[in-house]
A and B are shown apart, each in its own frame.
Chain A
Amino acid sequence: MKKVFKGIEDKRESGDVWFDELKRKRTDGPAISTKRYVEFNESTKSVHAGQYDDPNTNALGTPIFQCSTFYLNESSYNAIEEGRGRDEMIYTRYGNPSQWSVQEKLSALENAESSIVFSSGMAAISSTLLAVLDKGSHIVSSRDIYGGTYNFLYEDLDRFGMSVTFTSPTNIEEIEAAIQDNTKVLYFEALTNPLLKMAPIEEIVSLGKKYNLRVIIDNTFLTPYNVKPLNLGVDLVVNSATKYLNGHSDLIGGTVSGSRKLIDRIWPQMLKNGGSMDPHACFMLERSLKTFALRMRTHNANALELATYLEDHPKIKKVNYPGLASYNQHELAKKQLKGKNSGMISFEIEGGDAKAHSLLKTLKLPKEATSLGGVESLISLPYNTSQASLTKEQQKEIGINDGLIRLSVGIEDIEDLITDFEQAIEQIF
């Protein structure tokens, strides 16, 4: 039901009305003549959900609504008056059919009532946290968290009168011990960078319920293909859409998904912070998402095979990968990921950072670049990229050892990737 006073307009004018008679209820969306394909599987949802087919032209596929503003009419004026502007087309930062379309596809994939797309992952994360936190709030998060999020929590929260405690992302007792009287949010990454530590999502959700807290999970490394945090009871899930969701290393974006109630609270924060997604970027993201499940299947399968190959190689000291029996949270991985695992690997090579650098230069296929989740394999060393702000000693304390390499396994043919690693390792030793 869209309108607040539908059917009670006369009672409103006479004053014979109170709040219990108001008609508007929350609904999924916002959406425009699109379907979610709820009863279908991942690839079908990826292809079809949220797509808007223009009835005027019969064009197949969501057009790019490249406009900043929309004609105002009685409906939009009513929406503004009643405070339900999120359900009307008024101005593109507020909402645009290109955004709604891709948001509906994401909601279908996340099993969410509602989603918002942002101009970057950090726009999604900062707006989400600022919307959910109260003055004086405290967050429990992980010291392994992505550097951009860490900087926001560590450098900026206190300017808003808020605070943070960083704990282990895996030790539930340590997480519980960090909860304070003013703790409002438990914020963790489903799989950390670069050591691939897995957050025990269901246990964190139980803690949230025990202490009346909100649980937010950054699922960038796993994506809704490998685990759906909302199905496990998480309140909100955020993603850097730059990574697997878009998957082509050609777009910057972010997402948040959850209940319509919570996403409606994040929406006005997004309006204040800016960071809405441009319609053309929405088009690119929606188009990329059509192959999302297809890509994820190949990322996962390639990563498992390559991780197995690397683990067996005598020049590789250690491989971190949830699908390996040697992974120290393998039982949790089996339960949480149900055999899907991940497209990310990290491993330590004999000979330390020097040999690691040589390997990166000698490989022909994986590109030496930061970021992840693209169709092409991407490879980098955490010590001089994501964890560069730490001293060598601090890096070792958290497990960033000499020779640690992070690999985002692409969708190239696995035979080619293994052959490439074989030739490169042989060449450098």
Chain B
Amino acid sequence: MLNNINIAGLSEYANEVKENNIEGKASYGVILDWVSGTKTKVKTKNMILGSHKLVRDFEFTIDEPTQLLGVNCAPNPAEYMLGGIAGCMAVTFMTGATLMNIEVNQLQLEIDGELDLRGFLGIDKTIEPGFPELKFIFNVKGSGTQEQYNLLMERVMKHSPNFNTMKNEVKMIGGLKG
């Protein structure tokens, strides 16, 4: 299989979703438990894809570096978020490359951003606590041309779910249970 991606399976799934839209619905969730200090543990909730459950038996730890009051035992929340965006962009890039008949020998994706923690700390009310911008670079080695890779990057920005969650406004609906 080109790039070890089953494009026939993707084609079958795309056509299944066309005929039965519910099969394209995928629900996701996580449960986070505070452990101690800045350390937390995240468990993935089961997904529902179409009308069937996918058991997601995974968990990971989050912490902050010691300089930011943690014990530095795991990546921090920003790193997980950037990793989640990069992972999603990589999936979209690789399936797209396979679709375009590009054999990829190496793909490395870097995302960088800079926070001004004065926003988090409340020192300057004019500063947004979130990332004002994120820079990403695809390092690709493969059979594609520069023109094809540019086209592919456009497609990634158009179709990657996590990229678009970050880029677009997402309605955040909060709740509290005492």
* Complex CA–CA separation, A84 to B10 (angstroms): 11
Residue of A nearest to B9 (CB): A83
* Complex CA–CA separation, A23 to B58 (angstroms): 35
> Is residue A71 contacting chain B, with contact meaning CB distance below 8 A?
no
What distance in Å separates the Cβ of A174 from its nearest Cβ neighbour in chain B? 21
What residues on A are CB-neighbors of B52 within 8 Å? 212-214
What residues on B are CB-neighbors of A82 within 8 Å? 1-2, 6-8
In the complex where A12-B100, A135-B55, A135-B57 touch, is A22 in contact with B1 (Cβ < 8 A)?
no
> Is residue A81 contacting chain B, with contact meaning CB distance below 8 A?
yes
Query: Restricting to A1-28, which residues have a CB under 8 Å from any CB of B?
Result: 4, 12-13, 15, 17-20, 22-26
User: Contact check: which of A24, A135, A136, A183 meets B15 at CB < 8 Å?
Assistant: A24
> Is residue A422 contacting chain B, with contact meaning CB distance below 8 A?
no
Q: Are B14 and A19 in contact (CB under 8 A)?
A: yes
Query: Restricting to A187-210, which residues have a CB under 8 Å from any CB of B?
Result: 209
What residues on B are CB-neighbors of A80 within 8 Å? 1
Interface size bracket, A side: 35 or more
In the complex where A15-B152, A18-B99 touch, is A83 in contact with B7 (Cβ < 8 A)?
yes
> Is residue A397 contacting chain B, with contact meaning CB distance below 8 A?
no
Give per-residue flags for A122-134: 1 if the beta carbon is below 8 A from chain B beta carbons, else 0: 0000000000011
* Complex CA–CA separation, A212 to B147 (angstroms): 44
Q: Are B8 and A134 in contact (CB under 8 A)?
A: no
What residues on A are CB-neighbors of B12 within 8 Å? 24-26, 261, 264
Count of interface residues, chain B, beta-carbon cutoff 8 Å: 35
What distance in Å separates the Cβ of A109 from its nearest Cβ neighbour in chain B? 25
Main secondary structure of the interface of B (DSSP, over half): helix
What residues on A are CB-neighbors of B151 within 8 Å? 15
What residues on B are CB-neighbors of A22 within 8 Å? 7, 10-11, 14-15, 99
Residue pairs across A and B with CB atoms within 8 Å: the count is: 94
User: Contact check: which of A17, A84, A182, A261 meets B8 at CB < 8 Å?
Assistant: A84
> Is residue A211 contacting chain B, with contact meaning CB distance below 8 A?
yes
Q: Are B55 and A81 in contact (CB under 8 A)?
A: no
Residue of A nearest to B95 (CB): A19
Q: What are the 8 closest A-B residue pairs judged by CB atoms, nearest first?
A: A136-B57, A83-B6, A22-B11, A84-B8, A24-B11, A134-B55, A212-B53, A25-B15
> Is residue B56 contacting chain A, with contact meaning CB distance below 8 A?
yes
> Is residue A105 contacting chain B, with contact meaning CB distance below 8 A?
no
Beyond A19-B10, A82-B8: 13 further Cβ-contacts under 8 Å? Answer: A15-B148, A15-B151, A15-B152, A19-B99, A22-B7, A24-B8, A26-B15, A81-B1, A83-B7, A83-B8, A136-B55, A182-B57, A209-B51
> Is residue A173 contacting chain B, with contact meaning CB distance below 8 A?
no
Q: Are B99 and A26 in contact (CB under 8 A)?
A: no
What distance in Å separates the Cβ of B156 from its nearest Cβ neighbour in chain A? 11
* Complex CA–CA separation, A13 to B57 (angstroms): 40
Interface of A toward B, CB cutoff 8 Å: 4, 12-13, 15, 17-20, 22-26, 80-84, 133-138, 161, 181-184, 209, 211-214, 261, 264
> Is residue B116 contacting chain A, with contact meaning CB distance below 8 A?
no
Give per-residue flags for B84-127: 1 if the beta carbon is below 8 A from chain A beta carbons, else 0: 00000000000110011100000000000000000000000000
* Complex CA–CA separation, A212 to B45 (angstroms): 14
What residues on A are CB-neighbors of B9 within 8 Å? 83, 264
What residues on B are CB-neighbors of A4 within 8 Å? 7-8, 11
Q: Are A15 and B100 in contact (CB under 8 A)?
A: yes
In the complex where A81-B2, A82-B7 touch, is A26 in contact with B16 (Cβ < 8 A)?
yes
Identify 30 residue pairs between A and B in the complex whose beta-carbon atoms are under 8 Å apart, listed by A's number.
A15-B147, A15-B148, A17-B99, A18-B96, A19-B10, A19-B14, A19-B95, A20-B14, A20-B18, A22-B11, A22-B15, A24-B11, A24-B15, A25-B15, A26-B15, A26-B16, A80-B1, A81-B1, A82-B2, A82-B8, A83-B6, A134-B54, A134-B57, A135-B55, A135-B57, A138-B55, A184-B55, A212-B51, A213-B52, A261-B16
